[in-house]
């Protein structure tokens, strides 16, 4: 698959490289696994030293790195180097006279190898950065660890990065562009399932495109297959994040994905206090977020939890939840459940799709959803432009014939009491509007 989007990030990285030829620059790149960090770096810099931190002995890692450095920079390193701090100092010394880009991927893995590497790097960086010309990129996919390394005031590398790039999923506009180029005859339902199952994660998009899986049926056949990457994906990506308590985290996420979105609901099912887990899932791991009714007061307890990542939502809803059937390879059983629930399940993502689309329009100062106590008078989308004093209120249904704007106006009465002078527009969005 060709390289899509990321123009903004590419420009930023190339601008940083130019600045690094005057004085060294440190850039941190974070983003969940499969998001396309490595591909972005490869696209931005054709010439670079690329070091991948794998879990192995430090001396063996240095041996591997030396071989890469010699080949990439066309130099010869004499003597034995078994400590990364010595290798990093050598490279900084070299950068006094030779500008180059150094990429260290999965940077957080040094914690398992030798955690003192970070303080060693800090000392070396502080001593050399002003008199050297290195473009240093530190990339990582375990967000909680990368956040701790660079944003915790107690950590040695706190405040050292000149730039931080948080790589996000493809936008709904890019997802649509990819489908248009690769499968021009796509239907609106094809676009929705492509959005639901990839969430704009570059690797998943690439797998579906490479396998020409553009319809829901072809996508399900690809996902629920004996050799599928997707079946173990949630486990492979999140167990390392969560550690030994991963079963509790997985149970919480499975319940949220199954529409048990209130803390009290989840606690009643699990029979334990989950406040700390929810806090870490939101603030440390950034896997869930709180959703409050638009215009709700600060500190309001009327809230729901939502899994941010589309694919994780699908994985916990249909793969983790039915892992017993997956383990005995009864894939048809799980596919039947997906087919049975898909119409209802996809409705939430259709709302999410239009919210993302409206955000990209840059027309509004606030966008959200609305509901009243006891889940009454739920409104799918509310968009506000405070400057122009206008509000857009939208109902989202898969089928346009099910949209009732008169009912929507009635549900909005309490919401609009404070906005009598605003220009109000009621609208319906369906699959046809994608």
pLDDT in tens, 20-31: 999 999 999 999
Q: Under a CB-based contact definition with an 8 Å cutoff, are residues 91 and 102 in contact?
A: yes
Q: What is the pLDDT of residues 283-327, one digit of tens each?
A: 988 999 999 999 888 778 889 999 999 999 999 999 999 999 999
What's this model's pTM, rounded to 2 decimal places? 0.90
The C-alpha atoms of residue 317 and residue 257 are separated, in whole angstroms, by 5
Q: CA-based diameter of the chain, in Å?
A: 80
Query: Which pair of structure tokens corresponds to residue 204?
Result: 């998943």
Q: Under a CB-based contact definition with an 8 Å cutoff, are residues 2 and 174 in contact?
A: no
The C-alpha atoms of residue 375 and residue 95 are separated, in whole angstroms, by 61
Mean per-residue pLDDT, 112-133:
96
Average pLDDT of the chain, as a whole number: 95
Q: What percent of the chain has pLDDT over 70?
A: 100
The C-alpha atoms of residue 388 and residue 382 are separated, in whole angstroms, by 15
Confidence of residue 60 (pLDDT cuts 50, 70, 90): very high
Q: What is the pLDDT of residues 317-360, one digit of tens each?
A: 999 999 999 999 999 999 999 999 999 999 999 999 999 999 99
pLDDT(362) > 80 = yes
DSSP category for residue 366: E
The residues, ordered by sequence, that sit 6+ positions from 286 with a Cβ below 8 Å of its Cβ are 143, 308
Domains of the chain, first to last: 7-166 (3.40.50.300), 231-328 (1.10.10), 366-433 (no CATH)
Q: What percent of the chain has pLDDT over 90?
A: 88
The C-alpha atoms of residue 61 and residue 83 are separated, in whole angstroms, by 9
Confidence of residue 1 (pLDDT cuts 50, 70, 90): low
Poorest-pLDDT segment among 89-98, 135-144, 334-343: 135-144
Predicted pLDDT at 329: 96
pLDDT(201) > 80 = yes
Give 121-125's long-range contacts (Cβ < 8 A, gap of 24+). 121/85, 121/88, 121/156, 121/157, 122/156, 122/157, 122/160, 124/85, 124/88, 124/89, 124/92, 125/24, 125/26, 125/92, 125/160
Query: Which pair of structure tokens corresponds to residue 70?
Result: 């010699």
Confidence of residue 144 (pLDDT cuts 50, 70, 90): confident
Provide φ and ψ at 216, rounded to 5°.
Answer: -55, -45
The C-alpha atoms of residue 182 and residue 409 are separated, in whole angstroms, by 40
For tokens 């060709």, the residue is 2
Q: Under a CB-based contact definition with an 8 Å cutoff, are residues 306 and 258 in contact?
A: no
Q: How far is CA 192 from CA 118, 185, 198, 353, 432, in A?
A: 44, 14, 10, 8, 11
Confidence of residue 279 (pLDDT cuts 50, 70, 90): very high
Predicted pLDDT at 294: 93
Identify the top-confidence range among 6-10, 141-145, 366-370: 366-370
């Amino acid at each position: 698959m060709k390289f899509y989007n990321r123009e903004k990030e590419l420009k930023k990285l190339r601008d940083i490289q130019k600045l690094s030829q005057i004085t060294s620059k440190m850039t941190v790149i974070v983003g969940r696994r499969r998001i396309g960090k490595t591909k972005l770096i490869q696209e931005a810099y054709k010439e670079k030293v690329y070091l991948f931190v794998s879990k192995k002995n430090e001396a063996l890692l240095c041996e591997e790195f030396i071989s890469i450095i010699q080949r990439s920079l066309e130099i010869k390193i004499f003597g034995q180097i078994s400590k990364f701090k010595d290798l990093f100092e050598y490279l900084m010394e070299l950068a006094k006279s030779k500008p180059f880009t150094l990429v260290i991927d999965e940077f957080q893995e040094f914690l398992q190898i030798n955690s003192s590497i970070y303080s060693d790097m800090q000392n070396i960086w502080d001593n050399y950065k002003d008199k050297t010309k290195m473009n240093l990129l530190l990339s990582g996919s375990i967000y909680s660890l990368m956040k701790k390394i660079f944003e915790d005031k107690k950590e040695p590398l706190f405040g050292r990065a000149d730039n931080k790039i948080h790589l996000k999923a493809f936008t709904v506009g890019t997802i649509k562009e990819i489908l248009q180029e690769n499968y021009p005859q796509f239907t609106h339902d094809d676009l929705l399932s492509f959005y639901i199952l990839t969430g704009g994660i570059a690797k998943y998009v690439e797998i579906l495109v490479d396998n020409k899986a553009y319809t829901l049926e072809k996508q399900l056949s690809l996902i629920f297959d004996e050799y599928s990457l997707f079946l173990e994906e949630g486990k492979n990506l999140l167990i390392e994040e969560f550690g030994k308590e991963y079963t509790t985290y997985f149970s919480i996420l499975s319940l949220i994905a199954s529409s048990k979105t209130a803390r009290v609901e989840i606690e009643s099912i699990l029979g334990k206090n989950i406040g700390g887990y929810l806090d870490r899932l939101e603030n440390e791991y950034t896997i869930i977020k709180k959703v409050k009714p638009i215009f709700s007061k600060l500190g309001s307890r009327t809230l729901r939890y939502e899994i941010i990542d589309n694919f994780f939502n699908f994985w916990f809803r249909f793969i983790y939840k039915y892992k017993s059937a997956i383990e005995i390879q009864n894939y048809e059983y799980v596919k039947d459940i997906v087919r049975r629930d898909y119409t209802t399940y996809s409705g939430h993502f259709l709302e999410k799709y239009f919210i993302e689309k409206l955000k990209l329009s840059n027309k509004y100062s606030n966008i959200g959803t609305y509901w009243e106590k006891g889940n009454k008078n739920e409104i799918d989308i509310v968009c506000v432009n405070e400057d122009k004093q206008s509000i857009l209120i939208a109902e989202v249904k898969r089928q346009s014939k099910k949209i009732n704007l008169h009912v929507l106006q009635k549900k909005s009465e309490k919401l609009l009491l404070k906005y009598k002078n605003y220009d109000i527009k009621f609208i319906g969005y369906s699959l046809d509007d994608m």
